[in-house]
Amino acid sequence: MTLRMSERRTSIIGAFLVALGPVSMALYTPAMPELVRAFATSEAAIKMTLSLYFGGFAFAQLVSGTLSDVIGRRSSTLIFMAIYLAGSLMAAFAPSVGVLLAGRLVQGVGASVGMTVARAIVRDQFTGTPAARIMNMIGMMLALGPAVSPTLGGIALGLFGWQSIFFLMVGFALMACFTVQFFMVETVAPDRSKGRLRPILGAYGELLRDSRFVSSTFVIAGAVGALYAWATMLPFVLIGQVGLTPTEFGVGMLMQSGLFFSGTVTVRLLMRRFTPQALVPAGLAFIGVASLVLSFTMHALEPTFLSVMAPVGIYAFGIAFVMPYMMTACMVPFPHIAGTASAMMGFIQMSSGLIGGALAALVGAPALALGTIIPGFGILSIASYFWYRRTVRLRPLIAPTAAETPFRKAAE
């Protein structure tokens, strides 16, 4: 039997589950130079811990999302949180860089469930402006997590050493299990028939053939994928080239999180007067300006804190305008496979970050990579939105006879 949670409870639980993924990725970024010394290894090996986490997170979403349709949201979340806990313990007690790499891979697999289930429980229960408000909160945590985490990680590193960062993740895992067990209700009727190979392949085929889904997902991939990609570059630009200490780097990242939080609050206020869709072009304008500025400063000027973080902050501000509508738009046409749709969206989104990090490694020079790859993400997001708008004009998101369109003004 499925139940319904309040909008507030869904927002809080969804935001917490979504935060686990980016927090686990970014929390230890200030420690990356220290890990090179602690394990007497290369910079490339420590960068690989991010790549493995990305890979585990991206591909495991395809399993965790489908599993949540098959056995239910709560059961699948608890299973994957146990996996995340095991990976956190492996990393905390890693005697070698090989075990650290394995622990990060296992962490990525476990954390994948947070993003898929969070969006699925919203689609299970809400549409329209309430769904956009919840996605606004979830989007805030999705982007705020990797921004605030380096600050917390830098403080923990300075006070207690690199192992403390992974013990924080152990605490997050235990808190997530407690929250799901006692506060989250099941929002979907489990359907074990969806676990067979043919329905799984059919569901993914349905998504990939739908240009509304693909185009809206690419808008998100260009916006949020940039967050994940620059998380692999900023430590080496700001610490390695600008000369910040790990703690200063962590505190400096508050500029990004502050601007994103400001954007989120602004969007929440504007949604009282405007539809979420109407705010997307403004967000893409911020992303476009930030991309141009970042490309210029990284190619033409010597990196400084402001020349790096000012355009990054503007980009983050723009993401806050894009997320509520586009995340909801991805999910609306697929209530029957919400978990799978969320999984595929997350897979494409995380894969874009993985590709961005891999390209940065190939470029080599961190500042050059930052000024080339991130503007490329901005172009992807803007171009995909034009594609999405053209697709929706040809195929309306919901039939006009529906009682409530997904993005009515709150005042209506």
Confidence of residue 379 (pLDDT cuts 50, 70, 90): very high
Confidence of residue 394 (pLDDT cuts 50, 70, 90): low
Arch. (CATH architecture) of 7-184+195-394: Up-down Bundle (1.20)
> Sign of the C-alpha dihedral, residues 342, 343, 349, 353?
positive
Where do we find the tokens 């890979």? 55
Amino acid 280: pLDDT: 93
Average pLDDT over residues 132-157: 73
Domain parsing of the chain, residue ranges: 7-184+195-394
Q: What does the pLDDT look like over 29-86, one tens digit per residue?
A: 777 777 888 887 877 788 788 778 878 887 888 888 888 888 888 899 999 999 999 9
Q: What percent of the chain has pLDDT over 90?
A: 23
Amino acid 407: pLDDT: 36
Whether 273 has a pLDDT exceeding 50, the answer reads: yes
Q: How far apart are CA 329 and CA 135, in angstroms?
A: 11
Average pLDDT over residues 314-325: 90
> Sign of the C-alpha dihedral, residues 59, 60, 64, 67?
positive
pTM score, whole prediction: 0.73
Q: Would you give the DSSP letter of residue 27?
A: T
Confidence of residue 232 (pLDDT cuts 50, 70, 90): confident
Q: How far apart are CA 4 and CA 6, in angstroms?
A: 7
Q: What percent of the chain has pLDDT over 70?
A: 92
Q: What is the identity of the amino acid at 247?
A: T
Amino acid 131: pLDDT: 79
Q: How far apart are CA 269 and CA 274, in angstroms?
A: 9
